[in-house]
Structure 1
């Protein structure tokens, strides 16, 4: 593990491999270890740089304060890429990290060669979804309920509600010990997430993305995440879409070989 000082914060990251840089941004309750299942195949072809966003492991944040937000994370990733000073990078983000990566591409396309968004998290506004209603989506509401449990001291109950909201009933119970611990290590970041006023995606946002983009989804993912993926893909110019069979939201853990095949094919094209 290494660190790079960005915007007054020591941002932790793991780096391996050689070649064109691929910066990887984890999602909610994740950190640079999120990508461990795909480090091997990806580093045979690329210099993989997996970051931990502000307040995530190895930091141990208590959830207090206002320094956790999409805007801050976008600023940090931009500053991180600038400080790498490697020229253009490929950028890959999952879930919340997909939202962060989308906003980086929107603001600073001059930093990027290609963009990969693995089920980016967020809501659609009325320009992309005429049925959109004000307020949180059902998934966002369940995540907020999970954060309430955590804030009240019921960490296990909160993590169960969070994970089952995405992967289905009983998913947390079935999850192996190692990935469970990674999520536990970042438990209190969920308190910041429900306060960070993440802006919804708009049609203008999607049409502003000019970086060659691949959207990746798990074929078995339920709920609003597939809708967000396919809607954004339909409005990002010349975007490609790949669905990973037999996998859900954490498709790179559930089908790592297929995930890497899709990613490396896109990056090589």
Structure 2
């Protein structure tokens, strides 16, 4: 694991393989280890980089917990890409990471060869969804604040994956999510996160791939479908029998789709 100081924070990341750079950004309650198997497979053909976002494992020593800001996290990734001098990259983001990557693609097209949004988080401003996550995530926040970290993390991830999905997930993934309980608490306290907008998504110019699981709960299917309708050069892929954590649920399908996207478009 490597370290780099960017914008006053020491970020941890992995950097494996050679060739065109693919940069992976994880979602909520996760960290760079979420991509371990993906990096292990794709680094045979690409230079694969995965970073842990601010406030996620391993938090640098002596860092005082502070506010969780989507704007700050977006700027973090931009500065990280610039610091590594990667040129244009294939940028892959999952959930909250997909939300951030969409903002980067719209604002800094000079940094991207392509964009992959894996179940992009949240909803698009003005869009109707079948379900709101607010009630479920408030329950998760209260559990964590009352000292029940395991219950809080389970409630949070079940809210985005489906009831009982966290309990069925691999032990390694449960351990990763528990190691990021503080980031969950900080994120859910953030009331300033700007939603994705149709105008912002319409600014994305690079080839884009959107993935969504057929078992994924609302609002992720609605958001994924609308992203694919708005972004000009966009392919939408449905992953059969997968919930929100697609590369965990259906690893082979996830890898195969990514490889085909990269090989046919570049």
Q: Same fold (TM over 0.5)?
A: yes
Counterpart CA distance in 2 for 1:172 and 1:257 is 20
Q: Does 1:181 align with 2:171?
A: no
1:215 aligns with: 210
Counterpart CA distance in 2 for 1:154 and 1:221 is 26
2:37 aligns with: 37
1:169 aligns with one of 160, 163, 169:
163
**Per-residue deviation, residues 141-186 of structure 1 (Å, max 9, x unmatched):** 3223212210121112211211221222222222222110000000
Q: Does 1:236 align with 2:231?
A: yes
Question: Do the aligned partners of 1:63 and 1:192 also contact (CA within 8 Å) in 2?
Answer: no
1:89 aligns with: 89
Counterpart CA distance in 2 for 1:123 and 1:173 is 26
**Per-residue deviation, residues 203-251 of structure 1 (Å, max 9, x unmatched):** 1011111121100111221221111111111001121111111211111
Measured after TM superposition, the shift of residue 37 of structure 1 is 2.4
Measured after TM superposition, the shift of residue 194 of structure 1 is 1.6
Partner SS, residue 247 of structure 2: helix
Q: Which stretches of structure 1, 4 residues or longer, exceed 6 Å deviation after superposition?
A: 60-63
Q: Does 1:245 align with 2:246?
A: no
Structure 2, unpaired ranges of 5+: none
Question: Do the aligned partners of 1:60 and 1:185 also contact (CA within 8 Å) in 2?
Answer: no
Question: Do the aligned partners of 2:24 and 2:50 also contact (CA within 8 Å) in 1?
Answer: yes
Counterpart CA distance in 1 for 2:103 and 2:53 is 15
Question: Do the aligned partners of 1:95 and 1:118 also contact (CA within 8 Å) in 2?
Answer: yes
Question: Do the aligned partners of 2:206 and 2:233 also contact (CA within 8 Å) in 1?
Answer: no
Matches within 5 A, 1:65-214: 65-66=66-67, 68-126=68-126, 129=127, 131=128, 138-196=132-190, 197-214=192-209
Structure 1, unpaired ranges of 5+: none
Counterpart CA distance in 1 for 2:259 and 2:120 is 19
Aligned length: 262
Partner SS, residue 209 of structure 1: coil
Question: Do the aligned partners of 2:22 and 2:90 also contact (CA within 8 Å) in 1?
Answer: yes
Counterpart CA distance in 1 for 2:79 and 2:53 is 12
Q: What is the TM-score with the length of structure 1 in the denominator?
A: 0.92
Measured after TM superposition, the shift of residue 198 of structure 1 is 1.4
Counterpart CA distance in 1 for 2:8 and 2:87 is 23
Task: Indicate how the Cα distance of structure 1 residues 63 and 235 shifts in structure 2: closer, same or farther if over 3 A, else same.
Answer: farther
RMSD: 1.8
Question: Do the aligned partners of 2:32 and 2:52 also contact (CA within 8 Å) in 1?
Answer: yes
Partner SS, residue 181 of structure 2: coil
Counterpart CA distance in 2 for 1:173 and 1:259 is 22
Q: Does 1:20 align with 2:20?
A: yes
2:9 aligns with: 9
Counterpart CA distance in 2 for 1:55 and 1:78 is 17
